[in-house]
């Protein structure tokens, strides 16, 4: 099977991250609950933001702004379903 490099994702990722992702469905990797990101519990604390599952309190995501970049971890999300 042939492959190309990650630059092939540019168009898809641009389209994906330009929309409101709070309506996306996220499956918690800890408890399996599926809910819109808008239902998650969000904590703003230095140095970043922590997003927790409203069902089990497990960490879904962390977001840190550092200088000119964002560091995003979705380690607690096993599936993110986004409707275009």
Tell me what pLDDT residue 59 has.
96
pLDDT tens, position by position, 28-68: 999 999 999 999 999 998 789 999 999 999 999 999 988 89
The radius of gyration of the chain from alpha carbons, rounded to an integer in Å, stands at 14
Mean pLDDT computed over every residue of the chain = 93
Tell me what pLDDT residue 83 has.
87
Measuring CA to CA, which residue among 53, 54, 55, 73 is closest to residue 63?
73
Tell me what pLDDT residue 42 has.
96
Cβ neighbour number for residue 43 with a 10 Å cutoff: 11
User: pTM here?
Assistant: 0.86
Residues 6+ apart with CB under 8 A from 84: 15, 19
Dig out the tokens for 39 from the structure. Answer: 């239902």
């Amino acid at each position: 099977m042939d492959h190309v490099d990650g630059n092939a994702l540019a168009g898809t990722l641009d389209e994906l991250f330009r929309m409101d992702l709070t309506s996306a469905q996220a499956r918690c990797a800890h408890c399996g609950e599926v809910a819109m990101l808008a239902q998650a519990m969000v904590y703003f604390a230095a140095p970043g933001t922590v997003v927790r599952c409203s069902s089990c309190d497990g960490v879904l995501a962390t977001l840190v702004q550092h200088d000119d970049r964002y560091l995003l971890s979705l380690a607690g999300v096993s599936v993110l379903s986004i409707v275009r």
